[in-house]
Each structure stands twice: as structure tokens, then as C-alpha cells.
Amino acid sequence: MRNFSTVYSAWDEDKLVGMVCAMDDGIMTAYIHYMLIRPEYHHQGIGHTLLKMMKEHYNSYLRIALIAYNTELDFYESCGFKRAEDASPMFITSLWT
């Protein structure tokens, strides 16, 4: 996590249950690299809270961007993110999902 600009985490006592990490250019764009919530902690508002913290942290930036899997679009839209109508994410990756 040391190379990210901003990291927020959620804990249940000493158990890490959620995390969101972002990189930024220092002035204009922040990119939320990933958000992870333990499955047994889904639907408890943790993800909404972590994203709210990111949005507050980057409220002076012109853009906060992320890439969402199709199954997560409704969640991110409920947090205020909008699908781009004139752009599509593009990748060169060997990541298995």
C-alpha cells in the first residue's frame, strides 16, 4: 500500500474487512485503483463509506475515475459515479479475474 497516494481501511476489531486505494496526479485526477470488501461484510455500508471518504478527500479534483466490472455498475452509480458515454476502458493485462 505504500505506493498509493491514499488508502482507507475498515476494521472489525483486529480484522481487516475492507479497503480502498487511490493514486492521483496531485491536482486534477484521482484514480481509485481498487476497493475490496470481505464478502461476509457486503451490504453493510462499508463500501459506500469508504468511497464517501475518497470523494471527500478528492473533492477539489476535477475527476475521480475508476474501472468497474459490469456486475458492480449499479453499486458505483449509487455512490455517484457515472458511466462514460464517450469513452471505454482499455487494457494490456495479464490479470486473471
In the Cβ-directed half-sphere of 27, how many Cα atoms lie within 13 Å? 0
Check residue 95 and give its pLDDT.
67
pTM (2 d.p.): 0.87
| Arithmetic mean of pLDDT over the chain | 93
Q: What is the pLDDT of residues 56-91, one digit of tens each?
A: 999 999 999 999 988 999 999 999 999 988 888 888
Alpha helices in 1-97 (DSSP H): 46-57, 73-78
